[in-house]
Amino acid sequence: KNEVEQSPQNLTAQEGEFITINCSYSVGISALHWLQQHPGGGIVSLFMLSSGKKKHGRLIATINIQEKHSSLHITASHPRDSAVYICAVNTGTASKLTFGTGTRLQVTL
């Protein structure tokens, strides 16, 4: 069993839909990251959080430390949101991240 599990693996949505991607982890963490990876490989850091909730534009990330679970929400989804969304956790060394396998999101018109 992976230390970081994401669901769903693949997600197709229509423009304007509300999207939720889930991440569960089985280890103690100091922080959880949500990352966005576009075709071609580049990764962008969306959020780093260790408690509560963060919001940036149409993106919202929440974490429940007791339940070892985090969610990434996208409101009013748009085709440009199409990407792979990756959950990763800090489990020790400051920059050592353990990654989930990602959720591939496709938003259609």
Partner 1 sequence: ETGVTQSPTHLIKTRGQQVTLRCSSQSGHNTVSWYQQALGQGPQFIFQYYREEENGRGNFPPRFSGLQFPNYSSELNVNALELDDSALYLCASSLVSLAGTGANVLTFGAGSRLTVL
Read off the amino acid at residue 6.
Answer: Q
31-37 and 83-90 as β-strands: parallel, antiparallel, unpaired?
A: antiparallel
Q: Which is nearer to partner 1, 87 or 107 (CB)?
A: 87
**Separation CA 45–CA 34 (nearest Å):** 6
Residue 96 near residue 90 (C-beta atoms within 8 A): yes
Cβ 1 to partner 1, closest distance in Å? 14
Read off the amino acid at residue 99.
Answer: F
Residue 63 near residue 73 (C-beta atoms within 8 A): no
Q: Which is nearer to partner 1, 85 or 107 (CB)?
A: 85
Cβ 66 to partner 1, closest distance in Å? 19
Cβ 21 to partner 1, closest distance in Å? 14
Q: Which is nearer to partner 1, 41 or 57 (CB)?
A: 41
Cβ 73 to partner 1, closest distance in Å? 20
Q: Which of 1, 11, 18 is nearest to 68 (CA)?
A: 1
Binding interface with partner 1 (CB under 8 A): 4, 30-31, 33, 35, 40-45, 48, 50, 86, 88, 90, 92-102
